[in-house]
Amino acid sequence: MGEAAIDVYATYDHTLAVRTERQVPDEGNARHRIPTRWPVRVIGRPHVGGGELSVRVIGRLEVRRIDQHLIKSDIGSRKARLLVALLALERGRLVRQDRIVDVVWSAELPRDPAHNIATMVSRIRRTLGGDFVLGDRTGYTLGDTVRVDLDDAAALVAKTEVGSVDREPLLVLTAGQRALRLLSRGGILDDEPRELWAEPARVCHRDLLRRARHSVARSALQLDDSATALEAAGSALAADPLDEIACRLLMRAYDASGEPVRALHTFHRLRARLADELGLDPAAATRELHVAILRGQTSPDRDGVRTVD
């Protein structure tokens, strides 16, 4: 099967400076700031045979060949596992030796780090194949044929945002639910929770999870599936109580399921929290939806759900 690559640069950014922040252009959200130090080139490919390998960084680090789970000892020592995790999270870029040394050796350095890294890479290649890690002593990168679950999830989320909820709500819902299944397996490198170098990927993971929940709720509302919309929007708002997009989607889901009182309570909780924590009022779109529900009318939509007044 030929490659069906989808080159998507997700909104966690590939252009701005290292370890800075920018405002994400989510209209009506009081605040969402994410680091821009996460320039992952998201590549979606169809699954192929021939012993294809994938790296899971969501949850505990795993390497799989088709459906065969490779346990930690198959990957190598903890240092080898950290190297695999680093290459997976830096997917698409050559990782220099000084960067590898900083991540793999947090304490006393070996006498010859370059030799130690080359030895680890050699052992990983013997176990997982010569194409699993590319490069030489100048730097290393994950092989082009190796999948990374965070990349797969980002590609699915991008599909839900590029596609039209109005024209293809079922396709958007399916892609969003697939993304949620990937992203909900856990956090990033749950077996290495103290590794601060992985924090940008953790922020990226949370952002993808938020966006996937938004997309699922929007498309479910379009399909008159208020139960699915309630679950997705409710999870998004529970994860971030100041997420106004999630609040509006949850209000719409409650209203669609015949529970306008709960929709109004959702608005009041958001308004109180915004005032207490940020000294802000809800955005205009949220206030308009509140008034529309009070009047038993449908408000102009700003969340990707077509409605009728």
3-state secondary structure the chain: CCCCCEEECCCCCCCCCCCCEEECCCCCCCCCEEECCCCCCEEECCCCCCCCEEEECECCCEEEECCEEECHHHHCCHHHHHHHHHHHHCCCCCEEHHHHHHHHCCCCCCCCHHHHHHHHHHHHHHHHCCCCEEEECCEEEECCCCEEHHHHHHHHHHHHHHCCCCCCHHHHHHHHHHHHHHHCCCCECCCCCCCHHHHHHHHHHHHHHHHHHHHHHHHHHHCCCHHHHHHHHHHHHHHCCCCHHHHHHHHHHHHHCCCHHHHHHHHHHHHHHHHHHHCCCCCHHHHHHHHHHHHCCCCCCCCCCCCCC
**pLDDT band per the 50, 70, 90 thresholds, residue 274:** very high
pLDDT at 87 over 80: yes
**pLDDT band per the 50, 70, 90 thresholds, residue 127:** confident
pLDDT tens digits along 128-180: 889 999 999 889 999 998 999 999 999 999 999 886 666 789 999 999 999 99
**pLDDT band per the 50, 70, 90 thresholds, residue 11:** very low
CATH code reported for the domain at 6-147:
1.10.10.10
Contact 10, 154 (CB under 8 A): yes
Q: What is the mean pLDDT of residues 218-246?
A: 97
Report the pLDDT value the prediction gives residue 12, as an integer from 0 to 100: 30
Contact 199, 211 (CB under 8 A): no
Q: What are phi and psi of 148, to 5 degrees?
A: -125, 130
The percent of residues in the chain predicted with pLDDT above 70, rounded, is 75
Q: What is the mean pLDDT of residues 249-266?
A: 96
pLDDT at 107 over 90: no
Interior/surface letters 23-62, b for 16+ CB within 10 angstroms, e for the rest: ebebebbbebebbbbbbbebbbbeeeeeeebbbbbbbebb
Of how many residues is the chain composed?
309
pLDDT at 65 over 90: no
Enumerate the domain spans of the chain: 6-147
Report the pLDDT value the prediction gives residue 49, as an integer from 0 to 100: 37
Residue tagged 């991540």 (tokens): 103
Report the pLDDT value the prediction gives residue 36, as an integer from 0 to 100: 33
Q: What is the mean pLDDT of residues 211-215?
A: 97
More confident residue, 65 or 78: 78
More confident residue, 261 or 128: 261
Verdict on whether the full-model pTM lies above 0.75: yes
Report the pLDDT value the prediction gives residue 68, as an integer from 0 to 100: 64
